[in-house]
Structure 1
Amino acid sequence: MGNCQPTVFPAEDFDVVADIKAIRKACKGLGTDEQAIIDVLANRSWAQRQEIKHAYFEKYDDLVDVLKKELSGNFEKAILAMLDPPVVYAVKELRKAMKGPGTDEDVLVEILCTATNADIAMFKETYFQVHERDLEADIEGDTSGDVRNLLTLLLQGNRDESYLVDEDLAEQDATALFEAGEGRFGTDESTFSYILATRNYLQLQATFKIYEQLSGTEILDAIDNETTGTLKRCYTALVRVAKNPQLFFARRLHDAMKGVGTDEDTLTRIIVCRSEFDLETIKDMYLEKYDVSLKDALRDECGGDFKRLLLAICH
C-alpha cells in the first residue's frame, strides 16, 4: 500500500543530551511535569527514544524505573510502550493477550493479521528472548479448533508478498471458497484459512470480486452467514486487512471508543505502533468513514495526560 503516511518522524535537530536533561528536570522535585515528557517523547522516532533510554541510563538511572515511579495509569502504560522497541512491545502485547483466564483473540488477530512475513519471524525470535517461551506453542495451547489452525497458518509467515495478480488462481480460489462455504452444508474452514493466510492482498481482492460474481454475496456477508464467534471475527479481520489495512485500524480504533467504557489498551497499541508507518492515513480513513476526526473522537473519549499524549502522537 504505497500511500501510507506516518505522523511521527525522526526529530531533525535531535539532541539526546538536551532531551535527557529535559526529562530529568520533569521528574525532579515536587510533582511531575508530564507535558515536558510528552513534548520530548511524542516528537522523537522509536530509534531516537532508544538512544534517549540508553543515554539516560548511562548518565542518571534506568529511565523505565524512573517513569514507573513518576507516572500512573494509561498514561504510564503508553509512555512505557513508546520506550520499547516496536517488536518488543508487540510480543509483550501478544503475551498479555494469552496470559490469565481467557484469550483476547482480537489482539492476536490484530497483530498477526497485519504483520509481514519478516515481522512474524521477528515476533517468534523476540517472543522467545523476552518471555523465554515459544510463541507457536503458546498460541497452540491457548486457542483451539479452526481458530488455532488459522493462527498457526499465519505464524508460518508464508504469505505471498508480491503485487502480482493471477486471474486464474483468483477464479480457482473463489470457486474453492464458494464450494467450501455457501455452496454446501457446513463450512470447510481449512480452505478459507489457507487462502486468507497465504495469498497477497491484491490477489485476495481479485478473488473476493470473482467470489461475489459467483455467489451473488459479498464475501463479508458470506462469512457472517457461514461462521460464528471468534473464527468469524478472525476471517472478517483478514478480509478487511486485505481490502484496506488502514481502514481496518480505523475501525479498531472506533470500536475501542464505542459504547460504554473505552478500550485504552487498543487505542495505545494502534496509535503508538502505527505512528511511524501509516497513522496519518489511518486518520484520513477514520474521518472518511465516521465523519468525525480521530482527534475529536479521542478528545471526547480520553482524559488527562493520556489524552494529551495520544493527541501529540497524532499531530
Structure 2
Amino acid sequence: MCWGGLGSLRPFPVFQPEKDVADLEAALEQKDVSTLVRILANRSNAQRQSLAQTFLSLTQQDLRARLKKVLNGGLEELMLGMMMTLEQFEAQRLRRAMEGLGTDEETLLEILCLRSPEQLSDIAAGYIKEYQRDLEKDLLSETSGEFSLLLVALLKKKHMLGHVDQDVRVLCKDLNSSKADVAPWIQILTMRDPDHLRRVLIHVEAERGQPVTADIERHFGGIFSRDVRLGLQILVSSIEDPHRYLAQRIQTMKGPVIQGLIVSHSEEDLLAVRAAYKKETGRSLYTTIQDKFKGDIQQILLAICRSED
C-alpha cells in the first residue's frame, strides 16, 4: 500500500525477490546489519511484504523472527516496524501510546488528526487483528471528558458537505461568547474535508485578527483540560499545514517521535515534511538525524530520509 506521492521511499526499480532473499539470509547468518539496511531501506513496503512471503517460501522461516534473533534494542524495533504494513505500524504506535503509565496524547492526536477516514478504518481493523482489542473502546478507557469525545470523533470522522460561511459563523460565535463550547468545534473540524476546513480557518483568522490556535489557547482555558486545548490546537495546525505540523513535531527531538514519523510517512509525504523542516529550522532533517542518532539506527534512518535538502 502506498498512501501518497511525496515519499522518499519508492518501489525498487529492479526488484528481484529471490536474490534479495539470498542476500538477506547471508546477512542474517553473518549479522551484517549494513546489508540488511541496504536491502530493506531501499524497498517499498509492498516489496518488503513480498520479501517476507518469498523468504518463508524459500527457507521455511519467518523473516521477522530471524530479524528478531539477530537484532536487538532500538534497531530491532525499528526494522521490525518497517516489516509491518503501514496500518499495522500505525496501530502499534496507537497501542503503545496508551500502554503503561500515562497516555501519549500527542501521538494519538497526530495519527487521528492526519489520517483520512479510509486510512483510519484500515488502522482500526489492523488494531483489532493485532491486539484483539477495539480501538474506540481503548481510546475511551484511556482518556476522559471532552478529550475522549474529540478522539472518538476523529476516529469516526467523515467528509460531509458544509457551507464555509455558516461554519465560520458558528466558530466565531463560540469564540465571541463568554462561555466556551467544544461541541461545535468537534462537529465541524471532524466532519468536513481538509480543503473546506482550511478555507474556514482562514476566514476565522481574518475575522478575529489572530491565529486560530491562539484563540483556542485563550478561549478554552479555565475549566477545560490541557488535553482539550492541545487536541483542538493540533487538529487546527494539522488542517492548516500538515507538513509544517509534522516538522514542528520532529523538533521535539524525541527519538520515538522522529523514528515513528519517518517510517510512517516514508512512502507518503516525507519529502514535503523534509522541506517544511528545512524552512522551519534552517537545517535539513538529514543533518538533524546525523546529529541526533548514532550507529546502525542512524544508518537506517538516513537511508529512509534519503538525502540533504
SS at match of 1:100: coil
Superposition pairs of residues 199-214 of structure 1, within 5 angstroms: 199-214=192-207
C-alpha distance in structure 2 between counterparts of 1:76 and 1:131, whole Å: 20
User: Size of the alignment, in residue pairs?
Assistant: 298
**Alpha-carbon deviation of 1:4?**
5.0
> CA offsets per residue over residues 106-143 of structure 1, 9 Å max, x none?
11111111111111211222211111111111111111
Residues 51-66 of structure 1 correspond to what in structure 2 (within 5 A)? Answer: 51-60=50-59, 61-66=61-66
Q: For residue 34 of structure 2, what is the aligned residue in structure 1?
A: 35
The aligned residue for residue 292 of structure 2 is 301
Q: Which runs of 5+ in 2 are unaligned?
A: none
Q: Map 1:60-209 onto structure 2 (within 5 A).
A: 60=59, 61-160=61-160, 169-181=163-175, 183-209=176-202
Give distance in 2, aligned partners of 1:13 and 1:174.
Answer: 51
1:157 positional shift: 2.9
C-alpha distance in 2 between matches for 1:126 and 1:209: 36
Matched-pair contact (CA < 8 Å) for 2:5–2:267: no
Equivalent residue of 1:269, what SS?
helix
Q: Deviations over 1:7-61 (max 9, x none)?
A: 11111110111111111111214xx211100100010000100011111122222
State the secondary structure of the residue aligned to 2:190: helix
Structure 2 distance, partners of 1:40, 1:4, is 21
What is the TM-score with the length of structure 1 in the denominator? Answer: 0.90
- Tell me which amino acid in the other structure corresponds to 2:188: I
CA contact (8 A) 1:175 1:214 kept: no
Please give the secondary structure, in 1, of the residue aligned with 2:213.
helix
Deviation (angstroms), 1:64: 1.3
Q: Is 1:230–2:240 an aligned residue pair?
A: no
Residue 172 of structure 1 aligns to which amino acid in structure 2? Q
Q: Distance in 1 between matches of 2:241 and 2:211?
A: 16
- Aligned equivalents of 1:155, 1:37: Cα separation in 2: 36
User: Residue 237 of structure 1: CA displacement?
Assistant: 1.4
CA contact (8 A) 2:28 2:70 kept: yes
CA RMSD of aligned residues (A): 1.6
Partner of 2:259: 268
CA distance, structure 2, for counterparts of residue 94 and residue 308 of structure 1 = 26
Q: Which residue, 257, 270, 291 being the options, matches 1:279?
A: 270
Counterpart AA for 2:140:
E
- The residue number in structure 1 matching 2:304 is 313
**Runs (4+) off by over 3 Å:** none
Quote the Cα distance in structure 2 between the aligned partners of 1:15 and 1:209: 49
Contact 1:220 1:239 in 2 (8 A): yes
Structure 1 unaligned spans of 5+: 258-262
Letter in 2 for 1:11: F
CA distance in 2, matches of 1:207, 1:252: 24
1:5 matched to 2:6? yes
Answer yes or no: is the 8 Å Cα contact 2:11–2:44 preserved in 1: yes
CA distance in structure 1 between the partners assigned to 2:190 and 2:271 by the alignment: 27
**Shift of residue 217, structure 1, vs aligned partner:** 2.5
Residues 81-128 of structure 1, C-alpha deviation per residue, up to 9 Å, x if partnerless?
110011111111111111222211111111111111111211222211
Give, in whole Å, the separation in 2 of the partners of 1:159 and 1:97.
26
- C-alpha distance in 2 between matches for 1:191 and 1:155: 17
Name the aligned partner's letter for residue 18 of structure 1: K
% same residue: 29
Per the TM alignment, residue 250 of structure 1 is displaced from its structure 2 partner at its CA by 1.2
Match of 1:260 in 2: none
- C-alpha contact 2:12 2:44 (8 A) present in aligned 1: yes
**Alignment-derived partner of residue 248 in structure 1:** 245
- Tell whether the 8 Å contact from 1:118 to 1:157 is kept in structure 2 after alignment: no
3-state SS of 1:198 partner: coil
